[in-house]
Structure 1
Amino acid sequence: MSLSPRVLLVSLLLAVMRLSSAVHADDLETVRSRGTLRVGISGDYQPFSLCSEQFTDCRGFDVDVAQRVATDLGVRLELVRFRWPELRADLSAGKFDVAMSGVTLRPERTLTATFTRPYTVAQAVVLVADRERFPSLAAVEQAGVRVAVNAG
C-alpha cells in the first residue's frame, strides 16, 4: 500500500510537532488556531533553502515541503531565519514551531528536540582542489591542512 504525498507530508508534520516539552513547540491545534506554521530555515543551505539578503524571497526543497504542509493544514507559512550555531537555542526559545533546512540528526541536537525519520538522504564528502596533494582522507587529516566547514 502506498501513501499519497499529502498523507506523507501531514504525517511528517505530525511527527515533527511531537517535539519535547523543553522545546516549547506548539501542538497542531495551536498552529491551526494561530493560522500560521512557523518554520525555521537558514536560508543559506542550497538546495534546501536559499533566501534573499532581506529574507523576502526564499526558495528550495524545504521551503516547498513547508509550504505544502502549511497548505494542507489550511494555515499560512511563516519562514523564520536561524543561524546554525543558534539552531538549538532558537528552537528551545520557541522562535519557530519546526526547523527544516537540511537539518542533520546530531547527538547534541537530540537533547532539545525530537527528529522525524529522514525525508532526504545526503552524503558528506571532502572537496579538494588538488587531487595529488590529497589523494585520501588521511592526507587531509594532517597538521597544517586548513579546512572549511559549516558552523553548527
Structure 2
Amino acid sequence: MKAKKIWSLLMALAMVSSLAACGDTAEEDTDTAEVSDQAYVQDKGTLVVGITEFEPMDYQDESGEWVGFDADLAKEFAESLGVEAQFQIIDWDSKVMELDGKTIDVVWNGMTLTEDVTSAMECSQPYLINQQVVVVPAAVADQYQSEDSLADLSFAVEIGSAGCEIAAANGYNYTEVADQATALLEVASGTADAAIIDSLMAGAMIGEGTSYADLTSTVALTSEEYGVGFRKGSDLAAALNEFLDGKYADGSIQTLAETYGVQDALVTE
C-alpha cells in the first residue's frame, strides 16, 4: 500500500510540474507576441528598406549613396526611430516574402497600393499619385495615342509590378523583366516595342536631357496611389503616418518633393 501511495504522490507532482512548464511556455509566447515591430527595429538598430533602383524614388548618386524622394524620407523616418536606414535591392515579386522573412523591414519604393499589396502588408497612408504609362520610341509615338492602338505591341514590364498586372489584365503580349529601368532598356535596344512604367519614373528618366532622350510616354493606363508597406500587423505603419503628418505640418515634405520634381504628384494632406 505504501508503495502505491508513494507512486501516486510522484505522479501528482509530475503533473503539477508539467502544468507549470506549460504555463511558462504560454507566458513566453505571450511576451513574444507583445514585442512590437517598432521595438524589434529599434532593438537591432537598423531599418532595412527593400527597394529597386527607381529614379526619382530610390537611386544611387555619383558617390554610391542611396538618394531620392523615398530614400530621403526613409532615412529621416529611421532617424526619428533612433536607428539607421539600410537599403537592400530586392526581387520586387518577392517583396512580401522578404518582409515576412525579416530580411527587410519595409518596402519603400514607389509602391502602388493595389489590393494584393494592402491585403498582404500593413500599409501607410498614400503620399503620391502616380499613373502607369506606356513608353515608346518618340519616332513612332504618334501611332500609339489610344489604348486600342496598343494591342499588337510587345511590352516589357517589371515582374510583380502594377504595370505587369495591367499588361496581363489587358491581354497584352509582354515579357517580365527585373525592374522598370530594365524595361526602358528593352525599348531603347529594340527588344521590346514598349514598356509600361510609373509616370514619376518616366518624368525623371525619359525625354530631352536624359539617358533615354529618344523615348517618350503616350497613353496613361491607370491612376493610382503610392504607399509604404510593413509586415502585416506592424505598428510601424502608424508610426510612419504620424511622421508623415509632421512632415506635412511643417511643409518639409513639399520642399523634398520639389527637390526631386514630384511636387505635382504629392497627395494633399
Match of 2:59 in 1: 50
Match of 1:120 in 2: 128
Match of 1:33 in 2: 43
Matching residue's letter, 2:101? A
Matching residue's letter, 1:47? P
2:78 matches 1:70: yes
2:105 matches 1:97: yes
Structure with greater Cα Rg: 2
- Unpaired stretches in structure 1, ≥5 consecutive residues: 1-25
Shift of 1:112: 2.1
Contact persistence 1:32–1:74 (CA under 8 A) = yes
Query: Relative contact order (C-alpha < 8 Å, sep 6+): which is higher?
Result: 1
Q: Give distance in 2, aligned partners of 1:85 and 1:137.
A: 26
Matching residue's letter, 1:146? S
List structure 1 runs of 4+ shifted beyond 6 angstroms.
none
Which secondary structure does the structure 1 equivalent of 2:127 belong to?
Answer: coil
RMSD of aligned C-alpha atoms? Answer: 1.9
Task: Note the alpha carbon deviations across 1:91-137, whole angstroms, 9 max, x for none.
Answer: 12111111101111122223321211111111222223313322311
- Structure having the higher helix fraction is 2
Q: Percent identity?
A: 30
The alignment of Structure 1 onto Structure 2 pairs a total of residues equal to: 121
What TM-score, normalized by structure 1, do the two folds share? 0.71
CA gap 1:151/1:51 in 2 versus in 1, 3 angstroms:
farther
- Structure having the higher strand fraction is 2
Shift of 1:57: 2.7
Q: Give distance in 2, aligned partners of 1:87 and 1:51.
A: 20
Task: Note the alpha carbon deviations across 1:56-104, whole angstroms, 9 max, x for none.
Answer: 5312111100110111122111212212122122112111111101111
